[in-house]
Structure 1
Amino acid sequence: MNSTSSGSLHTCSPLTAFILAPNPGPMSLDGTNSYVISAPGASASVVVDPGPADDGHLRRLADAGPVELILVTHRHADHTAGSLRLHELTGAPVRAADPRHCHGGEPLQDGETIRAAGVTLQVLATPGHTSDSICLHLPDDGPHGSVLTGDTILGRGTTMLDYPDGMLGDYLESLDRLEALGPATVLPAHGPVLPSLEAITRAYRDHRHERLAQIRAALVRVGRDATVVDVVDAVYADVDPSVRRAAEMSVAAQLDYLRGLSGA
């Protein structure tokens, strides 16, 4: 998917395809993958993460087939900004965990089963990136099923924690929950499709624990009262300025987690 151009519909699993939104950037990678889901022969589709308020992109999603339902994985604008306009173009209800991002539809509930466009989707609450993050499990999508992971799992690199809305303790629990789904295909909102959810969640957990060890070491050197800026300077000395703010939020989340463990 790294070389995928925006604007075209690209098949990525038996039940899903995506249109890459024209919003590349340091945080969105190649852009937002707006997924179009339907069973073979179905007359309608489900769209997940409409992406930015780009009218051309939204019209291409609307033209990919009659849209029955629009789902949002979390509140960030690169996922939600186009939701209302796609609702206006198609008449399909928009559902998200956060009621503020619902248009004509009810909020999503953890454990809910959705049946639309001939497919079954199961909603999993996976807070951590944001408090309202959800993933969508398609158990019938290929031999091991698939999971649309939003920004909880990316196709390249690791995700940031939008602290204080996103919390590390929640995120680690969400990784445990996703790992239990086994070798499902990973359909991220940014970056390429990955072959095994079980494997990538383990890698993500290892990365988080490595960062925690680095931050513990930095606190020994700098002092336990070190600020977020102090720790970022020590641990992320070579971070690109374009993602400095993301590094600071992730460090803040990790400091909060460590201080909670210590009772400080």
Structure 2
Amino acid sequence: MLRTMDATTVRQVSERATRVLAPNPGPMTLDGTNTYVLREGTDVVVVDPGPDDAGHLERVLEVATADGGRVALVVLTHHHRDHTAGADALAERTGAPVRGAGRGEPFADGERLAAGALSLTVLTTPGHTADSVCLLLPADGLLLTGDTVLGRGSTVLAWPDGDVTAYLATLDRLLALARREVSSIAPGHGPHVDEPAAALENIRTHRNARLAEVRAAVAAGARTPEDVVRRVYGDVDPALESAAGQSARTQLAHLGIVPRT
């Protein structure tokens, strides 16, 4: 059962996982970046340290080191700075190694990470970025998704790193997993997801519907990302205009209208 530990910043989302919300809200980060502190016993894994913010680092360390805990490993779900910028400071304070997003040994799909009694399974899940991974915490039925699945809305597949083809395959894989052994999703941004299969089905439906709209726009003469944004996205918040254009380009690449390179 979810329980609030102190207001909305620190929240235990499963028996072994606590979310610490970073103070970086915005159009692309929603309420802010969710940093996760995973623990069984004294060894702790920190997932996505978030921005380079001294106050956030202190809150993460307070949660991680309570009752004699120590940070044994820092994991990055992908390379975007709102997830990774705080990694160096956290590693310096704790001496813990950092893996993911080009740091440390590359992840292998299905690799098991262990920190004391805590066990995680790494899933390579490209689409949002080429280096995106999700982490399964089997003991809690919890799937940590980074930006692959958000708690609200739909993630951006930004050019050139985003890939619609890969993302659709990732969604199919995660949906099959959710139906078997995932009871909730801990996203990189937004609220906890308590009905993972339904959420993933909705995301897949949304993606396919948007691709149908892009196909229709192409049939009507759209050839550039700017054409697609005008015809499909309509009035776009200026803060999201660049992201919309990049998403449109990844969709056109998926449909073979523009090259991947």
Rounded to whole Å, the distance in 1 between the matches of 2:25 and 2:202 is 25
Distance in 1 separating the partners of 2:178 and 2:27: 30
Aligned match of 1:167: 163
AA partner of residue 37 (structure 2):
V
| Structure 2 residue identity aligned to 1:26 | P
- Whether the 8 Å contact between 1:128 and 1:166 is mirrored in structure 2 is yes
Q: Distance in 1 between matches of 2:124 and 2:200?
A: 15
Mapped to 1, the partners of 2:89 and 2:106 lie a distance apart of 18
Q: Which moved more, 1:147-156 or 1:58-67?
A: 58-67
Aligned match of 2:129: 130
SS in 2 for 1:181: helix
- Equivalent residue number for residue 218 of structure 1: 217
**Residue in structure 2 matched with residue 23 of structure 1 by the alignment:** 24
Distance 1:8 1:193 in 2: 13
Asked if 1:245 is matched to 2:242, the reply is yes
1:140 aligned onto 2:158:
no
- What's the CA shift for 1:201? 1.5
Question: By how many angstroms is 1:220 displaced?
Answer: 2.2
The 5 Å alignment of 1:1-264 reads: 8-39=9-40, 42-64=41-63, 65=65, 66-96=70-100, 98-99=101-102, 102=103, 105-141=104-140, 145-183=141-179, 184=182, 185-221=184-220, 223=221, 226-259=223-256
Question: Deviation of residue 59 (structure 1)?
Answer: 2.1
Structure 1 counterpart of 2:239, one-letter code: S
Write the letter of the residue equivalent to 1:250. Answer: S
How far, CA to CA, are the matches of 1:70 and 1:255 in structure 2?
36
d(CA) in 1 for partners of 2:7, 2:35: 10
Query: How many percent of aligned residue pairs carry the same amino acid?
Result: 49
SS in 2 for 1:13: coil
- Structure 2's unaligned 5+ residue stretches are none
The whole-number CA distance in structure 2 between the counterparts of 1:6 and 1:27 is 23
Conserved 8 A contact 1:182-1:196: no
Contact 1:134 1:150 in 2 (8 A): yes
Shift of 1:28: 0.3
User: 3-state SS of the aligned residue for 1:160?
Assistant: coil
Deviations 1:132-190 (A, max 9, x none): 0000011110xxx0100000000000000022211100000111111111252110010
Q: 1:218, CA displacement in angstroms?
A: 1.2
- CA shift, 1:7, in A, is 8.2
Q: TM-score, normalised by structure 1?
A: 0.89
Is the 1:127–1:171 Cα contact (8 Å) retained in structure 2? yes
TM-score normalised by the chain length of structure 2 = 0.90
